[in-house]
Amino acid sequence: MAEASGGALPSDIEHLSFEDALAELRGIVERLEQGETKLDEAIQAYERGAKLKAHCEKKLREAETRIEQIRLGQDGTPTGTQALDVDES
């Protein structure tokens, strides 16, 4: 499997919506915080969580690039839209 930091994500993750991926990631975090999973299961959960996190970040970047900023004329009325410049840090 490819790592979350590079390469393609597994198809089951790639097809998740942002909300579904985030919900699964939250569930993984809760299970890991409880500390009641076996070591191997915890490692697998952590790895899947890292991939889910990467997917959520990708979805957020995609959404940011689609956001448009409304331009206002000198009289304050909307004159059109322009793509919002997103500062990727």
Note the pLDDT of residue 70. 61
Q: Over the Cα atoms of the chain, what is R_g? A: 19
Backbone phi, psi, residue 64, to 5°: -60, -35
Q: Which two tokens stand for residue 76?
A: 């304050």
pTM: 0.68
Residues found in the chain: 89
Spatial CA neighbour of 45 closest among 64, 63, 18, 26 = 26
Note the pLDDT of residue 76. 72
Tell me: pLDDT of 57 over 80.
Answer: yes
Classify burial at 55, counting beta carbons within 10 Å of its beta carbon; exposed 0-12, middle 13-18, buried 19 or more: buried
